[in-house]
Amino acid sequence: MPEEYEDPCIFCDIVAGRREAHKIHEDNLTICILDINPLSKGHCLVIPKRHVPWWHELTDEENASLFMVAGIVARKMMHSLHPDFVCMYARGRRIPHTHIFLVPTCSGDVLDRFFNALELFQESTQKLADLRAEESMQDAAELIRSAGTE
């Protein structure tokens, strides 16, 4: 169950049963609900039951549960909604409780157009293009590899 925090958290309230939600699936560590502001029909949020602001701070068991539930629900979406694919991305910035967006997406819809535009932007500027240079890639890889986790 969620830990106590000074600021109210809508996801902790849902986990504790203090707020209503359209539950899709859950296990002992994770819950999946429909997003109240969907980007497409069936847009879901996969949420750890413990209040954790950043996904990389989840325990290994929580991480495994989060992605297992995401996989189960994505397969259910593919079977029932027939999208071209299910877009997945992690959030936690606006609502500081880790959550994964699962968005059934079809070619040309709003999310597909957004990511296509983002990819074009990513490929277009010189500063971002410089990040693809082998020296820059090696530098970034070495910085991340050699960093501690504490």
Known catalytic residues are 99
Distances (CA, A) of 7 to 11, 33, 97: 12, 22, 12
Coil, helix or strand at residue 63: helix
Rounded to 10 degrees, what is the CA torsion of 25, 56, 150, 10? -70
Structure tokens at 104: 């059934």
- As beta bridge partners, residue 46 has 32, 100
